[in-house]
Amino acid sequence: MTNGHPTREEDFDLYALGALEGDEKLAIESHAAACADCARKLAEARGRIAIIGLAAPDASPSPHAREKLLARIRASSSTAATPAPAAAPARDRQPGPASPATSSAPFARWWAAALAPIGVALAVATVILWSQNAKLKSQLDQLTAQVAQLRDSASAQQKELEESQHAADLLAARDTIVVPLAPMPGAPPGTARVAYSSHMGMLMYDGTLSPPPSDKCYQLWLIPAQGAPINAGVFHPTPGETDHWMMQMPAGVTPKAFAITLEPAGGMPHPTGPKLLAAAIS
Protein backbone atom coordinates (compact mmCIF):
# COMPACT_ATOMS: atom_id res chain seq x y z
CA MET A 1 0.00 0.00 0.00
CA THR A 2 1.20 3.52 -0.91
CA ASN A 3 0.08 6.30 1.44
CA GLY A 4 -2.49 3.85 2.68
CA HIS A 5 -3.87 3.19 -0.83
CA PRO A 6 -3.65 -0.34 -2.26
CA THR A 7 -0.94 -0.49 -4.92
CA ARG A 8 -2.74 -3.19 -6.93
CA GLU A 9 -6.26 -2.79 -8.22
CA GLU A 10 -6.88 -6.53 -7.90
CA ASP A 11 -6.50 -6.27 -4.10
CA PHE A 12 -10.07 -4.98 -3.96
CA ASP A 13 -11.30 -8.05 -5.86
CA LEU A 14 -9.23 -10.36 -3.65
CA TYR A 15 -10.76 -8.78 -0.56
CA ALA A 16 -14.28 -9.13 -1.99
CA LEU A 17 -13.55 -12.82 -2.64
CA GLY A 18 -12.39 -13.29 0.95
CA ALA A 19 -8.91 -14.26 -0.26
CA LEU A 20 -7.07 -11.68 1.88
CA GLU A 21 -6.21 -12.43 5.48
CA GLY A 22 -4.37 -10.91 8.39
CA ASP A 23 -2.67 -7.55 7.99
CA GLU A 24 -3.62 -7.18 4.30
CA LYS A 25 -7.30 -7.57 5.09
CA LEU A 26 -7.15 -5.21 8.07
CA ALA A 27 -5.20 -2.62 6.06
CA ILE A 28 -7.84 -2.42 3.31
CA GLU A 29 -10.71 -2.35 5.80
CA SER A 30 -9.21 0.46 7.91
CA HIS A 31 -8.20 2.50 4.85
CA ALA A 32 -11.55 2.12 3.03
CA ALA A 33 -13.34 3.35 6.15
CA ALA A 34 -11.61 6.74 5.78
CA CYS A 35 -11.11 6.95 1.99
CA ALA A 36 -14.19 7.55 -0.17
CA ASP A 37 -12.38 6.64 -3.41
CA CYS A 38 -11.17 3.27 -2.10
CA ALA A 39 -14.56 2.60 -0.50
CA ARG A 40 -16.12 3.10 -3.94
CA LYS A 41 -13.60 0.74 -5.56
CA LEU A 42 -14.31 -1.86 -2.87
CA ALA A 43 -18.05 -1.58 -3.51
CA GLU A 44 -17.45 -2.00 -7.26
CA ALA A 45 -15.34 -5.11 -6.57
CA ARG A 46 -18.13 -6.62 -4.47
CA GLY A 47 -20.54 -5.89 -7.30
CA ARG A 48 -18.30 -7.67 -9.81
CA ILE A 49 -18.04 -10.72 -7.57
CA ALA A 50 -21.82 -10.76 -7.16
CA ILE A 51 -22.29 -10.57 -10.94
CA ILE A 52 -19.90 -13.48 -11.45
CA GLY A 53 -21.92 -15.55 -8.99
CA LEU A 54 -25.18 -14.65 -10.70
CA ALA A 55 -23.69 -15.45 -14.09
CA ALA A 56 -23.20 -19.13 -13.17
CA PRO A 57 -25.88 -21.28 -14.87
CA ASP A 58 -28.53 -22.92 -12.68
CA ALA A 59 -28.07 -26.67 -12.25
CA SER A 60 -31.02 -28.84 -11.19
CA PRO A 61 -30.40 -32.47 -10.14
CA SER A 62 -32.00 -35.15 -12.26
CA PRO A 63 -34.90 -37.22 -10.79
CA HIS A 64 -32.61 -40.29 -10.76
CA ALA A 65 -30.06 -38.47 -8.63
CA ARG A 66 -32.79 -37.30 -6.24
CA GLU A 67 -34.14 -40.84 -5.80
CA LYS A 68 -30.64 -42.20 -5.27
CA LEU A 69 -29.98 -39.60 -2.56
CA LEU A 70 -33.27 -40.39 -0.78
CA ALA A 71 -32.49 -44.11 -0.91
CA ARG A 72 -29.14 -43.49 0.77
CA ILE A 73 -30.80 -41.38 3.45
CA ARG A 74 -33.36 -44.13 4.18
CA ALA A 75 -30.59 -46.75 4.27
CA SER A 76 -28.60 -44.62 6.70
CA SER A 77 -31.66 -44.18 8.92
CA SER A 78 -32.29 -47.95 9.00
CA THR A 79 -28.68 -48.64 9.88
CA ALA A 80 -28.75 -46.10 12.67
CA ALA A 81 -31.95 -47.61 14.13
CA THR A 82 -30.58 -51.21 14.16
CA PRO A 83 -28.53 -51.97 17.30
CA ALA A 84 -24.96 -52.70 16.45
CA PRO A 85 -23.68 -56.21 17.47
CA ALA A 86 -21.37 -56.40 20.44
CA ALA A 87 -17.78 -55.94 19.56
CA ALA A 88 -15.71 -59.07 19.71
CA PRO A 89 -12.80 -59.13 22.07
CA ALA A 90 -9.65 -57.81 20.59
CA ARG A 91 -8.00 -61.22 20.68
CA ASP A 92 -10.86 -62.77 18.67
CA ARG A 93 -10.86 -60.13 15.94
CA GLN A 94 -9.44 -61.03 12.58
CA PRO A 95 -7.80 -58.34 10.48
CA GLY A 96 -9.74 -57.54 7.34
CA PRO A 97 -10.16 -54.89 4.68
CA ALA A 98 -11.33 -51.47 5.80
CA SER A 99 -14.92 -50.56 5.07
CA PRO A 100 -15.55 -48.33 2.01
CA ALA A 101 -16.83 -45.48 4.17
CA THR A 102 -13.77 -45.63 6.42
CA SER A 103 -11.28 -45.89 3.58
CA SER A 104 -12.88 -43.18 1.44
CA ALA A 105 -13.30 -40.57 4.18
CA PRO A 106 -9.66 -39.36 4.21
CA PHE A 107 -9.63 -39.26 0.42
CA ALA A 108 -12.85 -37.20 0.35
CA ARG A 109 -11.43 -34.74 2.86
CA TRP A 110 -8.21 -34.47 0.85
CA TRP A 111 -10.16 -33.93 -2.40
CA ALA A 112 -12.31 -31.18 -0.86
CA ALA A 113 -9.23 -29.49 0.58
CA ALA A 114 -7.53 -29.62 -2.84
CA LEU A 115 -10.52 -28.23 -4.71
CA ALA A 116 -11.10 -25.27 -2.38
CA PRO A 117 -7.96 -23.28 -3.32
CA ILE A 118 -8.45 -24.17 -6.98
CA GLY A 119 -11.93 -22.63 -6.88
CA VAL A 120 -10.61 -19.50 -5.22
CA ALA A 121 -7.78 -19.27 -7.77
CA LEU A 122 -10.24 -19.57 -10.66
CA ALA A 123 -12.45 -16.88 -9.16
CA VAL A 124 -9.46 -14.58 -8.68
CA ALA A 125 -8.28 -15.21 -12.25
CA THR A 126 -11.78 -14.43 -13.54
CA VAL A 127 -11.89 -11.14 -11.66
CA ILE A 128 -8.41 -10.14 -12.84
CA LEU A 129 -9.33 -10.91 -16.47
CA TRP A 130 -12.56 -8.95 -16.01
CA SER A 131 -10.58 -5.95 -14.74
CA GLN A 132 -8.01 -6.20 -17.55
CA ASN A 133 -10.74 -6.45 -20.19
CA ALA A 134 -12.41 -3.33 -18.76
CA LYS A 135 -9.11 -1.42 -18.95
CA LEU A 136 -8.48 -2.62 -22.51
CA LYS A 137 -11.98 -1.58 -23.55
CA SER A 138 -11.44 1.86 -22.04
CA GLN A 139 -8.14 2.21 -23.90
CA LEU A 140 -9.76 1.02 -27.14
CA ASP A 141 -12.56 3.59 -26.74
CA GLN A 142 -9.98 6.34 -26.21
CA LEU A 143 -8.01 5.28 -29.29
CA THR A 144 -11.21 5.12 -31.36
CA ALA A 145 -12.12 8.65 -30.27
CA GLN A 146 -8.61 9.88 -31.14
CA VAL A 147 -8.75 8.25 -34.58
CA ALA A 148 -12.15 9.85 -35.25
CA GLN A 149 -10.79 13.23 -34.15
CA LEU A 150 -7.76 12.86 -36.40
CA ARG A 151 -9.99 11.81 -39.30
CA ASP A 152 -12.22 14.87 -38.80
CA SER A 153 -9.18 17.12 -38.58
CA ALA A 154 -7.71 15.62 -41.75
CA SER A 155 -11.05 16.05 -43.53
CA ALA A 156 -11.25 19.70 -42.48
CA GLN A 157 -7.69 20.34 -43.63
CA GLN A 158 -8.41 18.65 -46.97
CA LYS A 159 -11.48 20.84 -47.40
CA GLU A 160 -9.44 23.98 -46.65
CA LEU A 161 -6.78 22.92 -49.17
CA GLU A 162 -9.42 22.34 -51.84
CA GLU A 163 -11.03 25.73 -51.18
CA SER A 164 -7.63 27.42 -51.29
CA GLN A 165 -6.90 25.74 -54.61
CA HIS A 166 -10.30 26.79 -56.03
CA ALA A 167 -9.69 30.36 -54.86
CA ALA A 168 -6.24 30.38 -56.47
CA ASP A 169 -7.67 29.00 -59.73
CA LEU A 170 -10.44 31.62 -59.68
CA LEU A 171 -8.07 34.53 -59.11
CA ALA A 172 -5.72 33.21 -61.80
CA ALA A 173 -8.45 32.88 -64.45
CA ARG A 174 -8.15 35.43 -67.28
CA ASP A 175 -11.79 36.50 -67.20
CA THR A 176 -12.02 36.90 -63.41
CA ILE A 177 -13.21 40.28 -62.19
CA VAL A 178 -12.76 41.53 -58.61
CA VAL A 179 -15.16 44.31 -57.62
CA PRO A 180 -15.72 46.08 -54.30
CA LEU A 181 -19.36 46.65 -53.32
CA ALA A 182 -20.14 50.30 -52.62
CA PRO A 183 -22.45 51.20 -49.72
CA MET A 184 -25.91 52.57 -50.46
CA PRO A 185 -27.98 54.81 -48.14
CA GLY A 186 -28.73 52.91 -44.95
CA ALA A 187 -25.92 50.39 -45.56
CA PRO A 188 -24.33 48.74 -42.49
CA PRO A 189 -20.73 49.61 -41.58
CA GLY A 190 -18.14 47.37 -43.19
CA THR A 191 -16.68 46.32 -46.49
CA ALA A 192 -17.46 43.62 -49.07
CA ARG A 193 -16.06 42.46 -52.40
CA VAL A 194 -16.82 39.85 -55.05
CA ALA A 195 -14.54 37.86 -57.37
CA TYR A 196 -16.28 36.23 -60.33
CA SER A 197 -15.35 34.16 -63.38
CA SER A 198 -18.04 33.71 -66.02
CA HIS A 199 -16.03 31.00 -67.78
CA MET A 200 -15.57 28.93 -64.57
CA GLY A 201 -19.06 29.79 -63.27
CA MET A 202 -17.47 30.48 -59.87
CA LEU A 203 -18.10 33.34 -57.40
CA MET A 204 -16.14 34.20 -54.24
CA TYR A 205 -17.32 36.62 -51.55
CA ASP A 206 -15.29 38.27 -48.79
CA GLY A 207 -16.74 40.83 -46.41
CA THR A 208 -16.97 42.21 -42.90
CA LEU A 209 -20.35 43.78 -42.21
CA SER A 210 -22.31 44.62 -39.09
CA PRO A 211 -25.03 42.01 -38.45
CA PRO A 212 -28.63 42.71 -39.51
CA PRO A 213 -31.64 42.51 -37.15
CA SER A 214 -32.29 39.00 -35.75
CA ASP A 215 -35.30 38.46 -38.02
CA LYS A 216 -33.41 39.57 -41.13
CA CYS A 217 -30.45 38.41 -43.23
CA TYR A 218 -28.23 39.67 -46.01
CA GLN A 219 -28.47 38.14 -49.47
CA LEU A 220 -25.95 38.50 -52.31
CA TRP A 221 -27.21 38.63 -55.88
CA LEU A 222 -25.60 38.29 -59.29
CA ILE A 223 -27.63 40.49 -61.63
CA PRO A 224 -27.07 39.23 -65.21
CA ALA A 225 -27.11 41.32 -68.35
CA GLN A 226 -30.25 39.42 -69.27
CA GLY A 227 -32.68 37.60 -67.03
CA ALA A 228 -33.62 37.59 -63.34
CA PRO A 229 -31.15 38.08 -60.44
CA ILE A 230 -29.40 34.88 -59.30
CA ASN A 231 -28.99 34.06 -55.62
CA ALA A 232 -25.28 34.01 -54.70
CA GLY A 233 -25.51 33.41 -50.95
CA VAL A 234 -27.53 34.13 -47.79
CA PHE A 235 -25.58 35.18 -44.68
CA HIS A 236 -25.89 36.67 -41.19
CA PRO A 237 -22.49 38.08 -40.17
CA THR A 238 -20.94 37.62 -36.74
CA PRO A 239 -19.49 40.83 -35.24
CA GLY A 240 -15.75 41.06 -35.76
CA GLU A 241 -15.55 38.06 -38.11
CA THR A 242 -15.01 37.94 -41.89
CA ASP A 243 -17.51 36.13 -44.08
CA HIS A 244 -15.93 34.10 -46.87
CA TRP A 245 -17.42 31.56 -49.22
CA MET A 246 -17.27 30.28 -52.77
CA MET A 247 -20.36 29.39 -54.77
CA GLN A 248 -20.82 27.58 -58.05
CA MET A 249 -22.86 29.70 -60.44
CA PRO A 250 -24.28 28.97 -63.91
CA ALA A 251 -21.35 29.05 -66.33
CA GLY A 252 -21.30 31.63 -69.12
CA VAL A 253 -23.46 34.24 -67.36
CA THR A 254 -22.33 37.80 -68.04
CA PRO A 255 -22.93 39.97 -64.96
CA LYS A 256 -24.40 43.48 -65.13
CA ALA A 257 -24.06 44.11 -61.39
CA PHE A 258 -23.70 42.56 -57.94
CA ALA A 259 -25.80 43.64 -54.98
CA ILE A 260 -26.53 42.83 -51.33
CA THR A 261 -30.10 43.28 -50.11
CA LEU A 262 -31.77 43.02 -46.71
CA GLU A 263 -34.23 40.10 -46.72
CA PRO A 264 -36.32 38.09 -44.24
CA ALA A 265 -34.38 35.45 -42.30
CA GLY A 266 -33.60 32.48 -44.54
CA GLY A 267 -33.49 34.52 -47.76
CA MET A 268 -35.83 34.94 -50.70
CA PRO A 269 -35.97 33.47 -54.26
CA HIS A 270 -35.77 37.01 -55.66
CA PRO A 271 -34.83 40.42 -54.20
CA THR A 272 -37.55 42.04 -52.07
CA GLY A 273 -35.71 44.27 -49.59
CA PRO A 274 -33.69 47.46 -49.87
CA LYS A 275 -30.35 47.41 -51.73
CA LEU A 276 -27.54 48.01 -49.19
CA LEU A 277 -24.34 47.49 -51.22
CA ALA A 278 -23.88 47.24 -54.97
CA ALA A 279 -21.36 47.35 -57.80
CA ALA A 280 -22.14 47.89 -61.49
CA ILE A 281 -20.03 46.10 -64.11
CA SER A 282 -19.22 48.35 -67.04
41-55 pLDDT per residue, tens: 878 888 777 766 655
Q: Give the pLDDT band (50/70/90) at residue 101.
A: very low
Write down the pLDDT at residue 9: 74
> What does residue 258 show for φ and ψ, rounded to 5 degrees?
-125, 145
Name the nearest CA neighbour of 218 among 229, 202, 207, 204.
207
Write down the pLDDT at residue 73: 61
pLDDT tens profile 169-201: 998 999 999 999 999 998 999 999 999 999 999
Q: What is the DSSP letter of 47?
A: H
Domain ranges for the chain, please list them: 1-53+116-165, 177-280
CATH topology of domain 177-280: Immunoglobulin-like (2.60.40)
